[in-house]
Amino acid sequence: PLRLGDLQLAHRVVLAPLTRQRGDDERLAPIDGLQEVYYAQRATSGGLLISEATLVSSEGLLDHRVPGIWNAEQTKGWKKVVDAVHAKGGLISLQLWHTGRCAHASFKDHPAMQPGRTPSVSASDIAVPNKTRSTLSGEKLPYPAPRPLGLDEMPRLIEDYRNAARNAKAAGFDAIELHAAHGYLLDQFLNDGTNRRTDKYGGSLENRSRLLHEVLAALGEVFPFCRIGVRIS
């Protein structure tokens, strides 16, 4: 048995996040009849599952069929997953994800793209030094330099995370995990190799970690901190 925050687990075997790419092609909602079966197969009584990385907004879209949690339709799809896991006596946490500069600008034409959200963005205009995971056409192309996020955009970005947390709670998730690792957006702010800013979000470690702290504060308005995890690398 293990107590994790205020979650009582029956055992220490936890399912780690695994990219499945089983979102609907156009809506990026979990595919009905597939995702809930996949997660239910892995659920155990008193055991914890951590979902695949799930986009907080379409601004972070880096590949086809990765699921999101920014709208009601996606939330409805995730609720079916949560209900299937709970029916087996399991617990499930949703991993919240924004890929930042790892998203390719071609996805701006994806049918699920939200107004005012255009890939790719980052802390600074430093491109990923290799080819893309994918593009809208499916080609692998060199990454362009991302657009540095402006100070006026930070409240909107933080609200995207808060909105995703609200949707996760509405779907019935037991906890959430904030993805701040592996070179994705929050890690791009933390890392001095990708963050060359001279404002309050750059320079010192305190400044580079500011966005992470602000996002966590927003998530804490929705979930108790004892049910929020942070993935760092």
Supply the residues annotated as catalytic.
184
Q: How far apart are the first and last CA of the chain?
A: 27
Token look-up 């979990």 returns: 30
Strand ranges in 48-134 using DSSP code E only, listed in sequence order: 48-55, 91-97, 121-122
Token look-up 């030094």 returns: 129
Distance (Å, whole) CA 19 – CA 16: 10
3-state secondary structure of 50: strand
Strands 7-9 and 2-4 turn out to be: antiparallel
CB atoms within 10 A of CB 199: 12
Q: Nearest CA to 76 among 211, 170, 188?
A: 170
